[in-house]
Structure formats: structure tokens, C-alpha cells
Structure 1
Amino acid sequence: MYTGYLQVVVQTVITFFVLLTLTRFLGKKQLSHLTFFNYVTGITIGSIAANMVILKTIVFIKFLISLIVWCALTTLISYIALKSGKARTLLDGQPTIVIKKGKIDRKALANTKINLDDLTMMIRQYQVFSITEIDYAILEPNGMLSILRKPEFQSTQKTDLSIYPSAPSFIPIEIITDGKLLPRNLLEVGKSREWLDNELKKANVKTIQEVLYAEIQPDGNIFIQKIE
């Protein structure tokens, strides 16, 4: 009788320390559930760990091997996504602009399987109760909504001070990440490759591969951070 309880205690202790070790390898991205893939992986790891402790129909060592292999695959996929922009897009998806210059993009909503009721609910979570206050809304790969309010509704209510700042010419958007160009984003802001090359030349950057991150600023200038 006591042998069975002792076995559960031993398996629980082993599982605890194995999970503790594996989570150190998985990294903070997995723990924060930044994407749906991370979320599902986290649930699966928890399910395997629970079965290791509770179920007796399968040998404990088999569950242990399964847990280690699953975590190893997750780490491998994360490494591939880190090195490959295409793999990262395939796994995590891309941000989708659902409100652009104050107008709802119905096609973007349809592609992301979100209806207007869902959109307005998500917006209200940011204490925004009118779409007319929004300049841009971006649906992130993790399902969260990022909102850029119109200038007159940003921070303190500038309308109360009779201040009406001009609207930004561009939405801040990345155009180079990890030494790779994002042509779609460059097209989104209406800039050409020739313009980008000239801006890089001004910053003493010879090739895109030298750039860790580059972003278009609201005034049309470009922020560039080189790979060190």
C-alpha cells in the first residue's frame, strides 16, 4: 500500500525537477505564450507531465522520454524560427492591420476570422469606445490588438487645450529585421527599395545584412540599428 504512495511521490519529484530543467532551455518566450504555437506547446507539456504522475497504465520512463523529446522539438523549432524569417512567419504568422487610417479593413478581418463584434470588444479593453479615435489597429500573432490612437486622442486630451497636432505621415513599422528586408512593409508605407538603399547609405550601411532592426518613424525618417 505504502509502496504505491511512495512511487507517486518519487515520480512527482522527478517530474518537477525535469520540468524545471527543461523550462530553462525553452526560454521566456515559451513561458509567456507569445503565440498560439507556444500556448499549445505549453498545454501539451503540462498534460504530459500530469500523466507522468497520475497514470499507471504506461511505464513512467516512456512519459519521461516523451516529455524530453517534445521539449527538444520545441527548442529546435524555436531555434529555426530565430534564424529563418520564413520559418518564423510560418510558425507565428504576421501582424495584420485591421484598422488603417481610421477605416476598418473588412478583408483583413475576414482573413483573421474576426467579426466586428469581436473587434469592438477588443478595442474596449483599451478604454476606447469609438473607432473614430483610432488611427491604426494591428492584430498581433498572439491574438492581442495593438492600437495607435489619432493624435488628438493620445495621452492627455489635447482637444481640451485646443491643440490639434497634425497626423503622423507614417505608422511606425519595421522594414528590416535580423538582416532581412520586409518588402511587404516597405510597400505598405509607399517607399521604394531605392529610397531604402539611399537611407542606408546615409547611415554608412553598405548592405541590409548589416542591419539588426530598421523602422520607419512617423515623420518618415528611418531608425537603424546595426548588428554588433
Structure 2
Amino acid sequence: MEWRSVFTLSVPLLEVFVRGTVTYLVLLILLRLVGRREAGGLGVTDVLLVVLVAQAAAAGLQGEAETVADGLLLVVTILFWSVAVDAVAYRFPCMAALLKARPRVLIENGRLNRKAMLREFMTAEEVLSQMRLHGIEDIAMVERAWIEPNGMISVIRRDRAAGDPVEPPRGL
């Protein structure tokens, strides 16, 4: 085996960078359109990063790419864009609305927000199931409930006294 061929690029540097950039940004947009509920307990960018890095690294390890350097450069490109998107969202709050998901109100003053439920493709039964996980049987007991950017549901009960600590649901 010739070691030099393992670590040299078989594809032009710019091509690998452009492929990684286009893949990351297109998948980021698609995952933002799908909604938060599909991501589970992770944020959309977390899921995207894990999937892309694993795929990029696997190509280099399995020999699908010509060299290890091709796979490593793709991983570096994906990590670069992950950090860049987070930095832009932090530095420019107006861009954060486009790049990062925000909490969406599912229940307000004991009433289901059908528009938010439609956006997240959630049925009333699914929302009620989430309320039961919080120990709430009647949504009239809910002052406000949000679907968070990571797909979790947070709830403020009407009967909670001011200053009471908010406890997360058990078993999650």
C-alpha cells in the first residue's frame, strides 16, 4: 500500500467544499421546513450535523471516497458550516429567525392552537398525550404550552403559584 495515496486529495479541494456546503445548507433548509417534532430530543442542526458527519466520515473509512483526506475535508466543511450558522444566528438576531427554530405556542389559556398544530402536523390526541406526560388531564389547566426547538413540549400550568419551580416531565 502506498501511504501517500491514502492522504492526498483525489477530488479538487473546491469541489469537496462546494459539495459539503450545498448538502449542509439544503438539508438545513429542508429540516427547518419539516418542523421540530420530527427531531425528537435533539435540535434540527444537531441531527443534521450527526447524520452528515457520520456519512462523510463513513465514506472515507469505507473506501468509497478515493482517500481519507477527501472524507476528512468533507467533515471539516460540514463542521465549519455548523459553527458558521450558529455564529451568524448568535451575532445577527434577525438571521436567527431564519436559521434557528423558535418555540411555538400549542396551547394558550386552555385552548389548542390549531394553526401551530397544523404547522407541526400534530393531532389533538398527540398534544393531549404530551399533556398527560406532564400530569395534566384537562387542557383547561394549561396557561401556555410550547413546542420547543428541540421537539420537546414545555408547559406552564394555571394553578402554579408565582415563583414555584417548573419541573420537567419524568421519564424523558
Q: Normalized against structure 1, the TM-score is what?
A: 0.49
Alignment partners' CA distance in 1, 2:116 and 2:64:
48
Structure 1 unaligned segments of length 5 or more: list them: 12-32, 155-164, 169-228
Query: Relative to 1, partners in 2 of residues 1:129 and 1:55: Cα closer, same or farther, differing over 3 Å?
Result: farther
Cα distance in 2, alignment partners of residues 34 and 85 from structure 1? 22
Is 1:43 aligned to residue 51 of structure 2? yes
Shift of 1:77: 1.2
Q: For 1:41, what is the secondary structure of its paired residue?
A: helix
Deviation at 1:118, TM superposition (A): 1.9
SS in 2 for 1:97: strand
Q: Deviations for 1:160-187, whole angstroms, at most 9, x for unmatched residues?
A: xxxxx7xx7xxxxxxxxxxxxxxxxxxx
Offset at 1:138?
Answer: 0.9
Give the structure 2 partner of residue 126 of structure 1.
134
Match of 1:83 in 2: 91
Q: How does 1:181-196 map to 2 (within 5 A)?
A: none
Match of 1:187 in 2: none
CA distance in 1, matches of 2:134, 2:66: 48
Per-residue CA deviations over 1:64-110 (Å, capped at 9, x if unaligned) read 11111111111111110111112211122221111111111212212
Deviates most, 126-135 or 88-97: 126-135
Indicate conservation of the 8 Å contact 2:59/2:65, yes or no.
no
Query: 2:72 is matched with which residue: 53, 64, 73?
Result: 64
| 1:37/1:91 contact within 8 Å kept | no
Partner residue, 2:16: none
Match for 1:98: what amino acid? Answer: L
- Looking at CA atoms only, which structure, 1 or 2, has the larger radius of gyration? 1
- Please, what is the CA RMSD of the aligned residues? 2.6
Q: Which residue of 2 aligns with 1:140?
A: 148
Contact 1:35–1:92 (CA under 8 A) maintained in structure 2: no
Count of matched residue pairs: 127
CA distance in 1, matches of 2:125, 2:63: 43
CA distance in 1, matches of 2:113, 2:56: 41
Structure 2: 5+ residue runs without aligned partners? 8-40, 163-172
The Cα of 1:34 is off from its aligned counterpart by 4.8
CA distance in 2: counterparts of 1:118 and 1:44, whole angstroms: 30
Deviation at 1:57, TM superposition (A): 4.8
Are 1:97 and 1:136, in contact at CA under 8 Å, matched by a contact in 2?
A: yes
Shift of 1:35: 2.0
Return the alpha-carbon distance in structure 2 between the equivalents of residues 91 and 57 of structure 1. 31
Which secondary structure state, in structure 2, belongs to the residue aligned with residue 123 of structure 1? Answer: helix
Alignment of 1:63-212 (within 5 A): 63-151=71-159, 154=160
Q: What SS does the corresponding residue of 1:147 show, helix, strand or coil?
A: strand
Q: Give yes or no for contact 2:42–2:151 (8 Å, CA) kept in 1.
A: no
TM-score in terms of structure 2 length: 0.63
SS of 1:128's equivalent in the other structure is coil
Structure 1's 138 and 132: CA in aligned 2 closer, same or farther, altered over 3 A?
Answer: same
Q: Letter of the aligned partner of 1:90 in structure 2?
A: L
Distance 2:103 2:43 in 1: 11
- Report the Cα distance in structure 1 between the residues aligned to 2:134 and 2:57, rounded to whole angstroms: 36
